[in-house]
Amino acid sequence: MRPSSLRAAVLALALASPAVASVIDLSLLPSTEQIISGVDELLHPHPEVLGVEHTYDAKTGSYRKVCTLKALGNEQDDADNLVKAVEECGNGGVLRLPDANYTIGKALQLELHDAYVDLHGWLSFTTDTDYWIKNRIPFEFQKQSLGFVIRGTDYVLDGNDKGGINGNGQVWYNLAKDAGNFYGRPMSLAIVDSKNVIVKNWSVVQPQFWASITINSENVLIKDFYVNATSFDPASKVDEKNWLQNTDGLDTYQSHNVTVENMVYQGGDDCIALKPNSTMINIRNVTCFGGTGIAFGSIAQYEGVLDIIEDVVMDDIQLYPSSQCPGYQGVYFKSWVGESSGTPPNGGGGGFGYCRNVTVKNVYMEDILHPIAVDTDLIYTLGEKGKQTNNGKFEWHDIHLSNFTGQAAWNRIAWMDCSKTRPCHDWTFDAIDIKPGKTDHPEISYVCNNFVLGGNDGLNMCHPSNSTLETDNGGTL
């Protein structure tokens, strides 16, 4: 209501005495609620936050509907306005977010088609952990949770090297310390049920849980992608892994034809993890600081369920410890025990399937505890580790590793425990030149259990061993 209309309404009410009521139609006067709203607008004017125009957009090189969304500021929640912007321009338009910070206080599921998100700042999630747990977006795999979901086709997310998502994860690191897969922790960015997607120049800092995941999607390109999970609580300096566990950088699940180019990760868990039914995955130029490296899996967690990982090429990978977290693994393959024990997320097993046609090449490592590792007895339920061995039903074969250089932190270089039920076979190793960080136990540098070696696979020095030396890995295997 304009101020002039407000003054007219107040004057009309003043005149509406019993003496004149008979000649004035009171139904034509504003309601009390309208008057109150008008007074509030007069005293507390709100700037227009969403501008809409049809114009030439240089980003896309075409005339399109462009929505420019301004932040409310002062930590006011911008989530509803973002939803309105998507409704207005999410189908065939451009969403431009020029401000430095947008507060997101609600779990969001957005849908984009032939759309371009032009973000120049941060989508910053609020720290009300109770709200996020109660309003989690369920993700059936491992009973996990999502916080920000995008679905659709033919869309681009562009962070312009200026922003992306700020998960404000410290509250979650404190809350979930010592608790793997803490219920309700939301993933920062989920690409779901999508096709023909580009995510570029995008960062996720302080993720609440896994920084990003691609679910049931195909033809996805993620390039120039940065993830940083750092605990600033002084107490975490002596207990790094338990504060930063579950801060994966980039995961894929039931997705096909996903390419990752130019990624940097710092955190305390998997830099990249290929979850069940990840196929045609191409990874190029990735640097990981701290955590558990490049993971194939975990997989075969659900009893009687077929899982696969297939047609994977990884090239130009570098792995280092960080100033906050050791480098536990380099490249590792992990599948669950053969008989189900407990329930997900930390229990399970009994699934089956295969990983095949995998090439990992040009990998450099420094001070990594276990540069190459295979674990087929995976389980995280307290007290269950070690009760089942050699019975995994998942098969690791047709896997090729070449040009691995650098230095391990300890004696172990290859520690590969395959299943007696499904031995590893048809692996090749070419130019594996990782130096041990220690030389006091050379007998454990290359360990291959239940591993079929044919003499021409390039790893003749590998042999069986049940030694438990240097098997401490912070609970990561």
Asked if 316 is an active-site residue, the reply is no
Provide the 3-class DSSP secondary structure of residue 12: helix
Question: Is the Cα dihedral 460, 466, 468, 471 positive or negative?
Answer: positive
Residue 360 forms beta bridges with which residues? Answer: 314, 401
435-445 exposure pattern, b = at least 16 Cβ within 10 A, e = fewer: ebbeeeeeebb
CA–CA separation, 396 and 357 (whole Å): 10
What is the rounded CA–CA span in Å between residue 272 and residue 214?
12
Which residue type sits at 6? L
- Please give the full DSSP string across 152-181, using - where no structure is assigned: EEEEEEE-TTT-EEE--THHHHHHTTT-TT
d(CA 300, CA 393): 8
For residue 276, cis peptide bond before it (omega within 30 degrees of 0): no
Strands 425-435 and 393-408: parallel
Question: CA–CA separation, 110 vs 232, rounded Å?
Answer: 32
State both tokens at 207: 């993720």
CA 224 vs CA 162, 263, 268, 269, 285: distances in Å: 12, 6, 20, 20, 10
Query: Using an 8 Å Cβ cutoff, are 314 and 294 in contact?
Result: yes
DSSP letter, residue 424: B
Residue 313's beta-bridge partner residues? Answer: 282, 359
Burial class of residue 281, CB neighbours in 10 A (0-12, 13-18, 19+)? buried
φ/ψ region of 183 (left if φ > 0, alpha if ψ in -120 to 50, else beta) reads beta
Q: Which of 269, 270, 375, 417 is catalytic?
A: 269
Q: Which tokens sit at 376?
A: 């087929």
DSSP state of 58: T
Residue whose token pair is 């075409």: 62
Task: Give Cα 33 distance to the centre of its chain.
Answer: 45
Question: 23: buried, middle or exposed (CB in 10 Å: 19+, 13-18, 0-12)?
Answer: exposed
46: which DSSP letter?
Answer: P
Nearest to 391 by CA among 355, 341, 441: 341
Q: Which residues are catalytic?
A: 269
